[in-house]
Amino acid sequence: MSDDRNELAVLYERDYARLVRFAALMVGSVGDAEEIVQDAFVAAHRSLWRIRDQDKLGAYVMRSVINGCRGLIRRKRHGSHLVISDGAAGPDQSLSSVAVRHDMVAVLAKLPQRQREVMFLRYYLDQSEERIARAMGITRGAVKTHAARAAGNLRSLLEGEK
Partner 1 sequence: MNQVDGGLNAAEEQQLRAGIRREADSMQLSGDGWQRIVERTQGRKAVVRKRFLIPAAAALGVILMVVAAVTVNHRSDSGIPTAAPQQSATADYPIIWPQALVGGKTATVPATDDPAPTAKQFLDSLGVPTADLTFAVEQDSRGESRLVKVATRNGSVLGTVSLRWESGAGAWGVQAVQSPRTTVRNPEPNGAVNPPLSVAFRTDTDGTARVRLLDARSSKELTSWSEGIDPNEDWQANANFTRNADPFPGYLVLTVQDGGGQFTSVVVMPLTIGAT
* 90 sits near partner 1 (criterion: CB under 8 A): no
- Count CB atoms within 10 A of the CB of residue 17: 11
| Cα gap 14→37, rounded to integer Å | 13
Nearest to 155 by CA among 71, 105, 95, 97: 95
- Count CB atoms within 10 A of the CB of residue 145: 15
Q: Give kind and range of the element (H or E) at residue 99.
A: helix 95-99
Residue 146 carries which side chain, given as an amino acid letter? H
| Cα gap 104→98, rounded to integer Å | 6
- Mask 34-63, x = binds partner 1 (CB under 8 A)? x--xx-xxxx-x-x--xx----x--xxx-x
* 119 sits near partner 1 (criterion: CB under 8 A): yes
- Total binding residues toward partner 1, as defined by CB under 8 A: 64
* 137 sits near partner 1 (criterion: CB under 8 A): yes
Residues near partner 1 (CB under 8 A) are 1, 5, 8-9, 12, 16-18, 20-22, 24-25, 30-31, 34, 37-38, 40-43, 45, 47, 50-51, 56, 59-61, 63-64, 66-67, 70-71, 74-75, 84-85, 94-96, 98-102, 104-105, 108, 119-120, 123-124, 134, 137-138, 147-148, 151-152, 154-155
